[in-house]
A and B are shown apart, each in its own frame.
Chain A
């Protein structure tokens, strides 16, 4: 009797959740079906299934928005930044845990405090520095900025994680003749894998989707990342939905595919990252 009521309750919950899921998905439906309609059909009926799939919209948007270029740019900057951020943050956090000096404690405090500073607070001077260094309008400039801006959180997360890594294995490796650098790369780094995945995932999403910083540093159209290309394309073709919508689908497709493949890591990473953060 009791279990029957329970299972009925579960079925009702399931149905309600599925309905909410459909509401959550509705924007994607509108986006997709209209991206393959003719302009006239979008205006006359934005809700119906397309009478004819005009994939030509996509080809046109792809060329006009220079998507191949934008895709390569986004991929390059994201991969290189994420790898370097993870590496130098892991190195710094490792040393800061193992050599618990006063200097390192103050440094950690600075890293943690920096996490509260909104990007807007420092963006104008950051631009100035990028100009002074002569790396404005270049991927190098963007890379340097991402390294500086993203290491605080990565170091904070690594720091918490490394504290729980036992010291014995490292000592054994030292006895076996490893120097501090090989100890780190051969022994410690592989042990950091769970936290490493979290940091890779969080930074990859953040950098791939970032608009503001690239928009301030990169001016040349051939350097545009996907958010920049989308922004400029949208500005040019405002209300020309038959071109704007395919561009938006193309813009979100890579990250959605990434998400569906990496889902487990993304969700676990976010849960782990936020509990520590």
Chain B
């Protein structure tokens, strides 16, 4: 009996041990340390860490216009990014589940931007916006291409949204395709025989049946756009004049450019709370709309 207990303990240690050790070391402990540091004035260099209570948080709420403007940017970006990538992703998926000859090649192409990391994507698009667009502008005469794409706040914002759509909609397309191909052909045929229009089928039959995929896609796109960092860093660096600085970039700059690690962790903790609240609300709302097939 005792031997059996020890063998259970040994197995627990052997199987669960390694993952738990690394997880504790790199997630649990840092998270707790972060809570502590957010109440200090730690600058990352000196060993002298002074407890400052709620000063960091007070500072963020009363005295940090940059943080709130980065927050506002992130909110606007998330809203547009989420809506547009889901629309494009769904649109692509909807048509690529039809019997098209080039279906597989098209799927491959639409997903391709997603395998490239955000950092390199940003640099690639920097060139497209600076040289590619101006050349297209000269060729076509369209003023759309002649805008100062990375040069001012409004177009800079749209530039990031555009690249984000290009990057992410292929991923959402894959999820929507998986879900759409599970919608039973019989039901669709029955609706067609009953004389339902394409739009009616989409709205009343397909949409409810693919709600689980909508939940997942909204969750993914919200967390991607809220946490956007690499693309932001390489495409605009938050400029011009911090107008396109995301929260993630703001935290990074606070810690590593201004050497305010304490303030940085305080912002990071707020960031976590906001991300958690938004995603929980979203999952709850969309889950409640899911139906049993």
Contact = CB atoms under 8 A, between A and B. Distances in A.
B276 interface: yes
Given A88-B18, A92-B16, A151-B22, A259 B115 contact: yes
Contacts of B164: none
A95 B12 contact: yes
B136 interface: yes
A104 to B, nearest CB: 7
Q: Which of A10, A46, A110, A125 has most chain B Cβ within 10 Å?
A: A125
B175 A27 contact: no
B135 to A, nearest CB: 4
Contacts of A94: 15
A243 B160 CA distance: 24
B285 interface: no
A14 B102 contact: yes
A138 to B, nearest CB: 15
A122 interface: yes
Contacts of A43: 131
A169 interface: no
Interface string B6-19: 00100110111011
A114 B23 contact: yes
Interface in A97-129: 99, 104, 107, 110-111, 114, 116-126, 128-129
Given A110-B28, A120-B251, A245-B127, A211 B117 contact: yes
Contacts of B54: none
Contacts of B20: 92, 107
B22 A88 contact: yes
B272 interface: yes
Nearest to B182: A275
Interface string A31-51: 100100000001101110000
A192 to B, nearest CB: 14
Interface of A: 10, 13-14, 16-18, 20-21, 24-28, 30-31, 34, 42-43, 45-47, 88-89, 91-92, 94-96, 99, 104, 107, 110-111, 114, 116-126, 128-129, 144-145, 147-149, 151-152, 155, 180-181, 184, 205, 208-212, 216, 227, 230-231, 234, 241, 244-245, 248, 251-252, 255-256, 258-260, 263, 266-267, 270-272, 274-275, 277
Interface of B: 8, 11-12, 14-16, 18-20, 22-31, 33-34, 37, 44, 92, 95-96, 98-102, 105-113, 115-120, 123-125, 127-128, 131-132, 134-136, 139, 166, 171, 174-175, 177-179, 212-213, 216-217, 220, 223, 226-227, 229-230, 233-234, 247-248, 251-252, 255-256, 261, 264-265, 268-269, 271-272, 275-276, 279
